[in-house]
Amino acid sequence: MLKTKGQLVPRTFPLGKIRNIGIIAHIDAGKTTTTERILYHTGHTYKIGNVDEGTAAMDWMDQERERGITIVAAATTCYWNDHCINIIDTPGHVDFTVEVERSLRVLDGGVVVFDGVAGVEAQSETVWRQASKYNLARICFVSKMDRTGANFDYTVSMIRDRLQANLLLLQLPLGSEKLFEGVIDLVENRAVVFPDDPNMDPVEGPIPDKLCDVASAHRQKLIEKLAENDDNIMSMYLEERDIPVPVLKAAIRALTVSNKVVPVLCGSALKGKGIQPLLDAIVDYLPSPVDIPAIHARKLKDQEEVFCRPSDDEPFSALAFKIVADPFMGKLTYIRVYSGKMRTGAQILNSTAGEKERLGKLYIMHANHREEVDYADTGSIIAVAGFKKTSTGDSLCEASRPVLFERIQFAEPVLSLAIEPKSKADQDKLDDVLDKLTSEDPSLKVYYDQEVGQTIICGMGELHLEVAVERMLREYGVKVNVGRPQVAYKETIATPAESEGRFIRQSGGRGQYGHVWLKLEPNGKGEGNCFFEKLRGGTVPKEFIPAVKAGAMSALQDGALAGYPAVDVKITLYDGSYHEVDSSELAFKMAASLAVKGGLKKANPLLLEPIMNLELMTPAEFLGDIMGNISSRRAHITHTESHEGFFIVRCLIPLAETFGFTSDLRSLSQGRASHTMQFQNYEALPLHLSEQIIGKLGRDK
């Protein structure tokens, strides 16, 4: 269906033979390694890329190759058994979770990679929740089965218990640790042995006698679970007939696509063992664009509900999910086509921005390499050059059917960093560079602090900000001085309060008159700010209520204690007055702002701090010292468990107490402990610490 300049792509594919999938997992679980082996075995690459050696095709940024981690999601396309597989390899580090969020938003299925030694880790839970949020069909791939300490049963039980997943075991490992050599295929009831040479085909044969009973018991469980949901299999099972493999696969596919079960496979991505069966499972069990429900949208004019059905005959609709500032091509916009088709040079509507855009060149992306095509149709994941006004999350469509898709929601930054250019030349380039970085990464925020005269960048963590500063220098040649990371505190209120706001100006001619009474109340934790109107008798004309709301919500951006944004505040307009001549939108906006600022001070304001979910793994001999360290950092331990001589500790810890923890952990454990953190929520800061922060802020200003 995709046509290159002058020639067709190697195959053309009906919608039913397209798979749009993501590779998702915790950091270092083996996502990129799995993707690299997929590309090799599908013939997309002719040399196996290695993350540790910095030769992975999908990790193309210098920072990715140096650090050995994925920072930005990378898209590619490969072919297997007459199917087209569009893959997005996502980061595993929590600081770059925005890349996972926007990728999963446009995909149909996912492969969740688990470390066969560590099992379910902190970010594993995060990406699983993200996949569940978008109702994404999944396959679990338990990798690293050749590593010392690998335990398939332990990992499966963790997935089942921690993630509440209804698992369907399709494979068992053939051997373990150094003796791992292949898998037992429970569907086809055979053993598959993978030679050490990746160029040699797997060897299929009978299941070894010593494992026949175990395999038979697991296959029986597989068939019984399928029979519970498939009448045809139930009938054959009760009649004790052999169930054909195609019938089993059809039942597994139906349950996987409907998200009722999650198939589980295993292997060793680094050694290339288990990759071909994984590819077979992607093709056999994960959904195509026609298997998922039609995408929900709303008409631009009247907000009426509409469904964009996956068909080339439907009007064109797509979602822009990623922006990349390519040094050679300029701005590239990654889009997922939900319906219809588009051709180079066509004009389409950005219904989110209300602007028309002309399609420049179209590209199939292979990480940072491009393959130009003439047109793309339903189900395509494609990059477009030439868009000028399109941002991440914008809806694209034909002008004849303007529709809006639900926007992608991103988490708020929790850390900030002050930067200043080192020279006048750097100053001239800095604003342009920051515009490019923030257009690529919606979780990176920038503002200018007028009081201290500094540019502030806000991000999801220390690594996120560090990478952003590195990119300024490496990619754009801008040198900056960097301040110490600052925690993004917030404020809220503890008790209800009523407040009056009056804005009256008279200086000849028409004056300004706005008068409101507002009630401020604590909202539920995490529910955000909201505004309600409960007026009686028209004391404030309806045409001024939007101005009251705008003024009130704007005033919440500067709290009463230390100037941090106020959150989880419910505001109700219940009374006021107006002047027939002098009242205006500006006057009511100012009156509302004054009322909110006064009300916040009367409502017992609190300072809130971000709390992180910290998970660490340490050898048993270092546990005591590490527990002492985290306890001194105001951590609340929520869970500990032991596994194969290691302890896993989970706790909630204030972000402000985590600075320097990585160095401490390394020294306390001789470099053998590891940890991950992710944002959990905001909690009230203890009073004595709140007073310290407010006092320091006053001294600094």
Tens of pLDDT, residue by residue over 540-578, are: 999 999 999 999 999 999 888 888 899 999 999 999 999
**Chain mean pLDDT for the chain:** 86
Q: How many CA atoms lie within 13 A of 145 on its CB side?
A: 30
* Segment 160-174 mean pLDDT: 94
Task: Work out the pLDDT band at 464, boundaries 50, 70, 90.
Answer: confident
Contact 247, 232 (CB under 8 A): yes
With a cut of 50, say whether residue 701 has pLDDT above it: no
> Residue 554 is encoded by which pair of tokens?
């704007």
Instruction: List the one residue out of 127, 136, 124 whose CA is nearest residue 100.
Output: 127
Task: Kindly state the tokens that stand for 243.
Answer: 């169930």
Please provide residue 59's backbone torsions phi and psi, each rounded to the nearest 5 degrees: -95, 85
> What does the pLDDT average to over 164-172?
95
The Cβ of residue 644 has, within 10 Å, a number of other Cβ atoms equal to: 11
- pLDDT: is 330 or 86 the higher one? 86
The whole-number pLDDT of residue 49 equals: 53
Give mean pLDDT, residues 388-413.
Answer: 89
Which residue's structure tokens are 């993200």? 130
Q: How is residue 228 written in tokens? A: 């519970």
> Which distant-in-sequence residues (6+ apart) come within 8 Å of 7 by Cβ?
none
Look at residues 312, 295, 286 and name the one whose alpha carbon lies nearest to residue 378: 312
The mean pLDDT value for 619-629 works out to 90
Q: Tell me the CB-side half-sphere exposure of residue 445, using CA atoms within 13 A.
A: 16
Q: Please name the residues in contact with 276: beta carbons below 8 A apart, sequence gap of 6 or more.
A: 41, 202
329 CB-near residues (< 8 Å, 6+ apart): 361, 370, 385
Stated as kind and residue range, the H or E segment containing 421 is strand 415-421
Contacts of 407 (CB under 8 A, 6+ apart): 352, 393
pLDDT band at 100 (very low <50, low <70, confident <90, very high): confident
Question: What pLDDT is stored for residue 534 in this prediction?
Answer: 92
Residues 6+ apart with CB under 8 A from 621: none
Instruction: Give a three-class secondary structure readout of 212-242.
Output: HHHHHHHHHHHHHHHHCCCHHHHHHHHCCCC
Give the whole-angstrom CA distance, residue 579 versus residue 45. 74
Location of structure tokens 């597994």: 252
Residue 584, both tokens:
């205006």
| Lowest model confidence (mean pLDDT) among 282-286, 405-409, 505-509 | 505-509
pLDDT of residue 570: 95
For the segment 584-601, the average pLDDT, to the nearest whole number, is 94
Give dist(CA 20, CA 108) in Å, integer.
5
Integer CA distances (angstroms), 296 to 142, 303, 309, 319, 335, in order: 34, 12, 9, 12, 17
Nearest-angstrom CA–CA distance, 189 and 209: 13
Beta bridge partners of 587: none
**For residue 591, pLDDT beyond 90:** yes
Bridge partners, 19 (sequence order): 85
Q: Mean pLDDT throughout 114-131? A: 87
Instruction: Supply 597's token pair.
Output: 């600022």
pLDDT recorded at residue 69: 63
Q: Is 177 exposed, middle or buried (0-12, 13-18, 19+ CB in 10 A)?
A: middle
Tens of pLDDT, residue by residue over 11-51, are 368 899 999 999 998 877 888 889 888 988 888 765 665 55
pLDDT at 656: 87
Inter-residue contact 94 to 123 (CB < 8 Å): yes
Rounded to an integer, the average pLDDT of 223-230 is 91
d(CA 368, CA 455): 30
Instruction: Identify the band that residue 8 occupies on the pLDDT scale cut at 50, 70 and 90.
Output: very low
Which of these, 674, 427, 449, lies nearest to 564 by C-alpha position? 449
Residue 154 scores a pLDDT above 50: yes
pLDDT band at 5 (very low <50, low <70, confident <90, very high): very low
- pLDDT given for residue 63 in this prediction: 63
Closest of 399, 371, 387 to residue 320, by C-alpha: 387
Predicted structure pTM score: 0.76
Q: What percent of the chain lies above the pLDDT cut of 90?
A: 45
| Residue environment code for 337-367, b if the CB has 16+ CB neighbours within 10 A, otherwise e | bbbbbbebeeebbbbbeeeebebbbbbbbbb
Q: pLDDT class for 645, splitting at 50, 70, 90?
A: confident
Residue 227: pLDDT band with limits 50, 70, 90: very high
Comparison of pLDDT for 74 and 111, the residue scoring more: 111
For residues 106 and 74, give the distance between their C-alpha atoms in angstroms, rounded to a whole number.
14
Looking at per-residue pLDDT, the higher value among 534 and 325 belongs to: 534
Tokens 């950092």 sit on residue: 633
- Say how far apart CA 242 and CA 248 lie, in whole Å: 11
